[in-house]
Amino acid sequence: MGTRPIKHFIKIILQGLFWLLPIVAILIILSWLYGKITMLVGWVFRFIGFEPHTHQFMWGLFVIFIFLLILYVLGWLVKTRLADMLEYIFCKIPGYNTIKGLVGIFNSSKEGKNQVLVVAIKGFATQGYNIGLMYSQKESIIKDHYTVTLSMSPIPNGGFMFEVHKDNIFVIENATFDNNLQYLLSMGVKSLAEILHTESKEIEALMPLEAWLSEHK
């Protein structure tokens, strides 16, 4: 029971963090254009007579506390109109939507349709299945087909995208993006069942994508 408030607190912080990350990324790019920002900050500190280097430990704790507090507040604001207005403004900046999409891949606090699913797909070998990822559960331009990505091993910074019929996609429940990454990095030395600490299952025991979609509508 004592862990529930902690889990709730962490969940809200994660929501704030992943809402903030795309904005921070854009701000970092913009700040690169203003190379004098460090000089400006130093001038402000000297103007108010504050010298952080004389109290580095306390200053570090204060900054961390303020940052966590900001993330917690943002976590609550994510689904409000204020967040929508700010996001609408940042969407006008070229590249924001792309960065937001990439950051969203790693957002484990997401709920609903747009989750990263680890799936087994049929059809890319004479027999058997391949393990892949679904970064989105939106239907492809081809009816009843969905996009599945097969990453390379052991360096998963490349791969192939396939449009696969829903009848040939099976969701490996409780498997996460991180689990799939461990599987790729091991080059199959560690099986996905070993990584998930579970027994091997018949393919019929896995949840078909259509059933998963119906359950999460």
What's the rounded Cα separation, in Å, for the pair 10 and 109? 9
Neighbour tally for 8: CB within 10 Å: 10
- 46-50, 81-85, 93-97: lowest mean pLDDT where? 46-50
Q: CA-to-CA distance for 51 and 181, rounded, in angstroms? A: 44
In the prediction, which pLDDT does 114 show?
Answer: 54
Of 125, 121, 107, 179, nearest in space to 150 by CA: 121
Q: What is the pLDDT of residues 175-208, one digit of tens each?
A: 888 888 888 888 888 888 898 888 888 888 899 9
Average pLDDT over the chain reads 75
Q: Which of 14-23, 106-115, 117-126, 141-150 has the highest mean pLDDT?
A: 141-150
The mean per-residue pLDDT over the stretch 11-16 comes to 75
Mean pLDDT of 92-102: 63
pLDDT digits (tens, 9 = 90+) for 41-72: 555 555 655 555 566 666 666 667 776 777 77
Q: What is the pLDDT of residue 41?
A: 54
Predicted structure pTM score = 0.52
Mean pLDDT calculated for residue range 105-117:
58
133: left (phi over 0), alpha (psi -120 to 50) or beta: beta
Mean pLDDT of 36-44: 54
Cα gap 2→7, rounded to integer Å: 9
Portion of the chain with pLDDT greater than 90, in percent? 13
Cα(121)–Cα(170) distance, integer angstroms: 6
**Domain limits, the chain:** 3-105, 117-215
What pLDDT sits at residue 1? 52
Q: What average pLDDT does the segment 78-85 reach?
A: 67
Classify residue 188 by burial, with Cβ atoms within 10 Å: 0-12, 13-18, 19+.
exposed
Give the whole-number percent of the chain exceeding pLDDT 70: 62
